[in-house]
Structure 1
Protein backbone atom coordinates (compact mmCIF):
# COMPACT_ATOMS: atom_id res chain seq x y z
CA UNK A 1 0.00 0.00 0.00
CA UNK A 2 2.85 2.40 0.72
CA UNK A 3 0.66 5.15 2.18
CA UNK A 4 0.11 5.53 5.89
CA UNK A 5 -3.36 5.85 7.37
CA UNK A 6 -4.20 9.35 8.61
CA UNK A 7 -7.08 10.41 10.87
CA UNK A 8 -8.83 13.74 10.42
CA UNK A 9 -12.19 15.45 10.68
CA UNK A 10 -14.72 14.24 8.11
CA UNK A 11 -16.07 16.66 5.54
CA UNK A 12 -19.30 16.67 3.59
CA UNK A 13 -17.34 15.28 0.63
CA UNK A 14 -16.64 12.14 2.70
CA UNK A 15 -20.33 11.37 3.30
CA UNK A 16 -20.85 8.91 0.44
CA UNK A 17 -17.64 6.98 1.20
CA UNK A 18 -18.55 6.80 4.91
CA UNK A 19 -22.05 5.54 4.13
CA UNK A 20 -20.74 2.84 1.75
CA UNK A 21 -18.12 1.74 4.28
CA UNK A 22 -20.74 1.72 7.05
CA UNK A 23 -22.97 -0.51 4.93
CA UNK A 24 -20.06 -2.90 4.28
CA UNK A 25 -18.92 -3.00 7.91
CA UNK A 26 -22.35 -3.60 9.44
CA UNK A 27 -23.21 -6.61 7.24
CA UNK A 28 -21.57 -9.12 9.62
CA UNK A 29 -23.31 -7.48 12.59
CA UNK A 30 -26.68 -7.75 10.84
CA UNK A 31 -25.97 -11.41 10.02
CA UNK A 32 -24.92 -12.11 13.63
CA UNK A 33 -28.31 -10.92 14.88
CA UNK A 34 -30.31 -11.87 11.78
CA UNK A 35 -31.55 -8.28 11.59
CA UNK A 36 -30.85 -6.34 8.41
CA UNK A 37 -33.05 -3.46 9.55
CA UNK A 38 -30.46 -2.09 11.98
CA UNK A 39 -30.01 1.67 11.77
CA UNK A 40 -26.48 1.68 10.28
CA UNK A 41 -27.85 -0.26 7.28
CA UNK A 42 -30.92 1.93 6.83
CA UNK A 43 -29.40 5.36 7.47
CA UNK A 44 -29.86 7.80 4.60
CA UNK A 45 -27.19 10.00 3.09
CA UNK A 46 -29.14 13.05 4.29
CA UNK A 47 -29.15 11.74 7.88
CA UNK A 48 -25.42 11.10 7.72
CA UNK A 49 -24.81 14.61 6.37
CA UNK A 50 -26.82 15.99 9.30
CA UNK A 51 -24.51 14.09 11.68
CA UNK A 52 -21.50 15.57 9.90
CA UNK A 53 -22.88 19.04 10.58
CA UNK A 54 -23.73 18.52 14.23
CA UNK A 55 -21.28 16.09 15.76
CA UNK A 56 -17.65 15.13 15.83
CA UNK A 57 -17.07 12.79 12.89
CA UNK A 58 -13.60 11.49 12.12
CA UNK A 59 -12.34 9.49 9.18
CA UNK A 60 -9.28 7.35 8.64
CA UNK A 61 -7.83 7.70 5.15
CA UNK A 62 -5.48 5.53 3.18
CA UNK A 63 -4.56 7.92 0.42
CA UNK A 64 -7.90 9.29 -0.81
CA UNK A 65 -9.91 6.27 0.38
CA UNK A 66 -11.94 6.45 3.60
CA UNK A 67 -11.07 3.20 5.42
CA UNK A 68 -12.50 3.98 8.85
CA UNK A 69 -14.78 6.34 10.71
CA UNK A 70 -16.22 7.13 14.13
CA UNK A 71 -18.79 9.62 15.44
CA UNK A 72 -19.38 11.33 18.74
CA UNK A 73 -21.60 13.88 20.42
CA UNK A 74 -21.62 15.37 23.91
CA UNK A 75 -24.84 16.07 25.80
CA UNK A 76 -25.53 18.77 28.41
CA UNK A 77 -24.32 16.51 31.25
CA UNK A 78 -20.90 16.06 29.62
CA UNK A 79 -21.57 12.49 28.49
CA UNK A 80 -19.90 11.79 25.16
CA UNK A 81 -21.78 9.22 23.10
CA UNK A 82 -19.47 7.43 20.69
CA UNK A 83 -21.04 5.56 17.80
CA UNK A 84 -20.47 3.81 14.50
CA UNK A 85 -16.80 2.97 14.89
CA UNK A 86 -16.03 1.23 11.60
CA UNK A 87 -12.88 -0.04 9.91
CA UNK A 88 -12.69 -1.55 6.44
CA UNK A 89 -12.53 -5.36 6.78
CA UNK A 90 -9.14 -5.58 5.05
CA UNK A 91 -7.62 -3.27 7.70
CA UNK A 92 -9.25 -4.74 10.80
CA UNK A 93 -7.12 -6.19 13.62
CA UNK A 94 -4.22 -3.80 12.95
CA UNK A 95 -4.98 -1.18 15.62
CA UNK A 96 -6.90 1.28 13.48
CA UNK A 97 -10.11 0.92 15.50
CA UNK A 98 -8.20 1.75 18.67
CA UNK A 99 -6.57 4.75 17.00
CA UNK A 100 -9.97 6.06 15.87
CA UNK A 101 -11.44 5.52 19.34
CA UNK A 102 -8.58 7.37 21.03
CA UNK A 103 -8.79 10.22 18.50
CA UNK A 104 -12.53 10.78 18.98
CA UNK A 105 -12.14 10.58 22.77
CA UNK A 106 -9.40 13.22 22.68
CA UNK A 107 -11.44 15.56 20.47
CA UNK A 108 -14.62 15.18 22.51
CA UNK A 109 -12.74 16.00 25.73
CA UNK A 110 -10.69 18.87 24.31
CA UNK A 111 -13.27 20.51 22.04
CA UNK A 112 -16.60 19.62 23.67
CA UNK A 113 -15.75 19.25 27.39
CA UNK A 114 -16.69 15.58 27.69
CA UNK A 115 -16.55 14.20 31.24
CA UNK A 116 -17.33 10.56 30.46
CA UNK A 117 -17.57 8.37 27.38
CA UNK A 118 -20.46 6.01 26.64
CA UNK A 119 -21.03 3.59 23.79
CA UNK A 120 -23.28 0.68 22.85
CA UNK A 121 -22.39 -2.59 21.22
CA UNK A 122 -24.08 -5.90 20.59
CA UNK A 123 -23.85 -8.42 23.42
CA UNK A 124 -22.55 -11.05 20.99
CA UNK A 125 -20.02 -8.72 19.33
CA UNK A 126 -16.99 -10.18 21.08
CA UNK A 127 -14.39 -8.36 19.00
CA UNK A 128 -15.99 -5.00 19.76
CA UNK A 129 -16.34 -5.81 23.46
CA UNK A 130 -12.66 -6.83 23.59
CA UNK A 131 -11.58 -3.58 21.92
CA UNK A 132 -13.62 -1.40 24.26
CA UNK A 133 -12.48 -3.25 27.38
CA UNK A 134 -8.86 -2.90 26.29
CA UNK A 135 -9.41 0.87 26.14
CA UNK A 136 -10.76 1.07 29.68
CA UNK A 137 -14.50 0.76 29.09
CA UNK A 138 -16.62 -1.18 31.57
CA UNK A 139 -20.16 -2.52 31.10
CA UNK A 140 -22.79 -0.46 32.94
CA UNK A 141 -26.03 -1.85 31.53
CA UNK A 142 -27.82 -4.00 29.01
CA UNK A 143 -31.00 -3.69 26.99
CA UNK A 144 -32.96 -5.91 24.63
CA UNK A 145 -34.45 -3.59 21.96
CA UNK A 146 -35.65 -6.53 19.85
CA UNK A 147 -36.10 -10.24 20.40
CA UNK A 148 -32.83 -10.96 18.57
CA UNK A 149 -30.70 -7.96 19.53
CA UNK A 150 -29.15 -7.47 22.95
CA UNK A 151 -27.02 -4.38 23.58
CA UNK A 152 -24.37 -3.67 26.18
CA UNK A 153 -23.70 -0.09 27.32
CA UNK A 154 -20.09 0.59 28.27
CA UNK A 155 -18.60 3.69 29.90
CA UNK A 156 -15.37 5.17 31.11
CA UNK A 157 -14.50 8.51 32.67
CA UNK A 158 -12.41 11.04 30.83
CA UNK A 159 -8.83 10.81 32.11
CA UNK A 160 -7.96 13.72 34.41
CA UNK A 161 -5.21 14.96 32.08
CA UNK A 162 -7.54 14.90 29.06
CA UNK A 163 -10.25 16.76 30.97
CA UNK A 164 -7.77 19.40 32.18
CA UNK A 165 -6.50 19.90 28.64
CA UNK A 166 -10.05 20.50 27.42
CA UNK A 167 -11.00 22.87 30.25
Structure 2
Protein backbone atom coordinates (compact mmCIF):
# COMPACT_ATOMS: atom_id res chain seq x y z
CA UNK A 1 0.00 0.00 0.00
CA UNK A 2 1.49 3.34 -1.04
CA UNK A 3 1.19 6.67 0.69
CA UNK A 4 0.30 9.89 -1.02
CA UNK A 5 2.19 13.14 -0.61
CA UNK A 6 0.26 15.87 1.21
CA UNK A 7 0.99 19.60 1.16
CA UNK A 8 0.38 21.78 4.20
CA UNK A 9 1.65 24.82 6.08
CA UNK A 10 5.00 24.22 7.74
CA UNK A 11 5.03 24.19 11.53
CA UNK A 12 7.88 25.22 13.81
CA UNK A 13 8.58 21.57 14.59
CA UNK A 14 9.28 21.00 10.85
CA UNK A 15 12.29 23.33 10.89
CA UNK A 16 14.95 20.67 11.47
CA UNK A 17 13.58 18.36 8.74
CA UNK A 18 13.33 21.28 6.29
CA UNK A 19 16.92 22.32 7.00
CA UNK A 20 18.25 18.77 6.51
CA UNK A 21 16.30 18.43 3.26
CA UNK A 22 17.52 21.83 2.10
CA UNK A 23 21.11 20.78 2.77
CA UNK A 24 20.60 17.58 0.76
CA UNK A 25 18.85 19.30 -2.15
CA UNK A 26 21.33 22.14 -2.58
CA UNK A 27 24.37 19.84 -2.86
CA UNK A 28 23.76 19.52 -6.60
CA UNK A 29 23.51 23.31 -7.00
CA UNK A 30 26.74 23.81 -5.06
CA UNK A 31 28.49 21.23 -7.25
CA UNK A 32 27.08 22.79 -10.42
CA UNK A 33 28.55 26.19 -9.55
CA UNK A 34 31.60 25.00 -7.62
CA UNK A 35 30.50 26.91 -4.52
CA UNK A 36 29.67 25.10 -1.29
CA UNK A 37 29.32 28.37 0.61
CA UNK A 38 25.90 29.20 -0.86
CA UNK A 39 23.33 30.45 1.64
CA UNK A 40 21.04 27.39 1.58
CA UNK A 41 24.01 25.28 2.73
CA UNK A 42 25.12 27.70 5.43
CA UNK A 43 21.72 28.77 6.81
CA UNK A 44 21.35 28.12 10.53
CA UNK A 45 18.39 26.45 12.17
CA UNK A 46 17.65 29.71 14.00
CA UNK A 47 17.58 31.67 10.72
CA UNK A 48 15.21 29.10 9.24
CA UNK A 49 12.93 29.43 12.28
CA UNK A 50 12.83 33.19 11.69
CA UNK A 51 11.80 32.55 8.07
CA UNK A 52 9.05 30.22 9.25
CA UNK A 53 7.60 33.08 11.29
CA UNK A 54 8.01 35.84 8.73
CA UNK A 55 6.60 34.43 5.51
CA UNK A 56 4.60 31.61 4.01
CA UNK A 57 6.26 28.18 4.13
CA UNK A 58 4.71 25.00 2.78
CA UNK A 59 5.90 21.44 3.21
CA UNK A 60 5.17 18.26 1.30
CA UNK A 61 4.94 15.17 3.49
CA UNK A 62 5.15 11.50 2.71
CA UNK A 63 3.78 10.11 5.94
CA UNK A 64 5.70 11.97 8.66
CA UNK A 65 8.72 12.73 6.45
CA UNK A 66 9.12 16.22 4.95
CA UNK A 67 10.01 15.52 1.30
CA UNK A 68 9.54 19.02 -0.14
CA UNK A 69 9.20 22.65 0.81
CA UNK A 70 8.86 26.15 -0.63
CA UNK A 71 8.91 29.65 0.93
CA UNK A 72 7.66 33.09 -0.01
CA UNK A 73 7.07 36.59 1.24
CA UNK A 74 4.68 39.13 -0.29
CA UNK A 75 5.63 42.81 -0.32
CA UNK A 76 3.28 45.77 0.06
CA UNK A 77 2.82 46.02 -3.71
CA UNK A 78 1.60 42.45 -4.13
CA UNK A 79 4.88 40.97 -5.41
CA UNK A 80 5.55 37.51 -4.01
CA UNK A 81 9.22 36.52 -3.86
CA UNK A 82 9.36 32.73 -3.94
CA UNK A 83 12.48 30.89 -2.87
CA UNK A 84 13.99 27.62 -1.74
CA UNK A 85 11.71 25.28 -3.65
CA UNK A 86 13.12 21.88 -2.72
CA UNK A 87 12.06 18.29 -3.39
CA UNK A 88 13.85 15.21 -2.09
CA UNK A 89 16.03 13.81 -4.90
CA UNK A 90 14.21 10.46 -4.88
CA UNK A 91 10.89 12.24 -5.59
CA UNK A 92 12.08 14.74 -8.21
CA UNK A 93 10.65 14.70 -11.73
CA UNK A 94 7.23 13.47 -10.56
CA UNK A 95 5.42 16.82 -10.43
CA UNK A 96 5.85 17.55 -6.73
CA UNK A 97 7.79 20.78 -7.30
CA UNK A 98 5.02 22.08 -9.57
CA UNK A 99 2.37 21.04 -7.01
CA UNK A 100 4.19 22.92 -4.25
CA UNK A 101 4.61 25.99 -6.45
CA UNK A 102 1.00 26.00 -7.65
CA UNK A 103 -0.36 25.53 -4.13
CA UNK A 104 1.79 28.36 -2.81
CA UNK A 105 0.79 30.71 -5.63
CA UNK A 106 -2.91 30.04 -5.06
CA UNK A 107 -2.63 30.63 -1.31
CA UNK A 108 -0.59 33.81 -1.72
CA UNK A 109 -3.03 35.24 -4.25
CA UNK A 110 -6.09 34.37 -2.18
CA UNK A 111 -4.85 35.08 1.34
CA UNK A 112 -2.23 37.80 0.86
CA UNK A 113 -3.31 39.53 -2.34
CA UNK A 114 -0.26 38.54 -4.39
CA UNK A 115 -0.63 39.88 -7.92
CA UNK A 116 2.75 38.85 -9.31
CA UNK A 117 5.28 36.11 -8.55
CA UNK A 118 9.07 36.30 -8.84
CA UNK A 119 11.78 33.74 -8.34
CA UNK A 120 15.50 33.62 -9.05
CA UNK A 121 17.75 30.77 -10.15
CA UNK A 122 21.25 30.29 -11.47
CA UNK A 123 21.90 30.25 -15.20
CA UNK A 124 23.18 26.64 -15.17
CA UNK A 125 20.16 25.30 -13.27
CA UNK A 126 18.45 23.89 -16.36
CA UNK A 127 16.01 21.67 -14.43
CA UNK A 128 14.84 24.63 -12.35
CA UNK A 129 14.44 26.83 -15.40
CA UNK A 130 12.42 24.14 -17.24
CA UNK A 131 10.12 23.70 -14.23
CA UNK A 132 9.53 27.43 -13.83
CA UNK A 133 8.81 27.87 -17.55
CA UNK A 134 6.33 24.95 -17.47
CA UNK A 135 4.62 26.71 -14.56
CA UNK A 136 4.23 29.91 -16.64
CA UNK A 137 7.25 31.94 -15.53
CA UNK A 138 9.17 33.99 -18.07
CA UNK A 139 12.67 35.47 -17.70
CA UNK A 140 12.59 39.16 -16.82
CA UNK A 141 16.24 39.86 -15.99
CA UNK A 142 19.70 38.29 -15.94
CA UNK A 143 22.39 39.61 -13.61
CA UNK A 144 26.00 38.49 -13.84
CA UNK A 145 27.13 38.05 -10.24
CA UNK A 146 30.57 36.56 -10.92
CA UNK A 147 32.48 34.93 -13.78
CA UNK A 148 30.88 31.61 -12.75
CA UNK A 149 27.35 32.78 -11.91
CA UNK A 150 24.55 34.72 -13.51
CA UNK A 151 21.18 34.92 -11.77
CA UNK A 152 18.04 34.68 -13.87
CA UNK A 153 14.91 36.36 -12.53
CA UNK A 154 11.64 34.82 -13.73
CA UNK A 155 8.18 36.28 -13.17
CA UNK A 156 4.53 35.71 -13.87
CA UNK A 157 1.22 37.39 -13.17
CA UNK A 158 -1.21 35.85 -10.70
CA UNK A 159 -4.13 34.21 -12.47
CA UNK A 160 -7.53 35.51 -11.38
CA UNK A 161 -9.53 32.61 -9.99
CA UNK A 162 -13.08 32.37 -11.23
CA UNK A 163 -15.48 30.80 -8.75
CA UNK A 164 -18.79 29.48 -9.95
CA UNK A 165 -21.50 28.93 -7.38
CA UNK A 166 -23.40 25.72 -7.87
CA UNK A 167 -27.17 25.88 -7.69
Does residue 121 in structure 1 map to residue 121 in structure 2?
Answer: yes
Deviation at 1:145, TM superposition (A): 2.3
1:65 alignment partner in structure 2: 65
Does residue 108 in structure 1 map to residue 108 in structure 2?
Answer: yes
Kindly indicate whether the alpha-carbon contact (under 8 Å) linking 1:139 and 1:153 is maintained by their aligned counterparts in 2: yes
Deviation at 1:146, TM superposition (A): 2.9
Q: How does 1:27-42 map to 2 (within 5 A)?
A: 27-42=27-42
Kindly indicate whether the alpha-carbon contact (under 8 Å) linking 1:119 and 1:153 is maintained by their aligned counterparts in 2: yes
SS across alignment from 1:136: coil
Larger Rg: 2
C-alpha distance after superposition, 1:87-142 (max 9, x if no partner): 00000000000000001101111111001000001111111000000011000001
SS across alignment from 1:57: strand
Normalising by structure 1, we get a TM-score of: 0.95
1:4 alignment partner in structure 2: 4
* Structure 2: distance between partners of 1:47 and 1:71: 13
Kindly indicate whether the alpha-carbon contact (under 8 Å) linking 1:35 and 1:148 is maintained by their aligned counterparts in 2: no
Gap regions ≥5 residues in structure 1:
163-167
* Structure 1: distance between partners of 2:110 and 2:85: 19
* Structure 2: distance between partners of 1:160 and 1:61: 28
The alignment's C-alpha RMSD in Å is 1.0
Q: Identify, as 1 or 2, the structure richer in helix.
A: 1
Deviation at 1:61, TM superposition (A): 0.1
* Structure 1: distance between partners of 2:145 and 2:107: 30
2:146 alignment partner in structure 1: 146
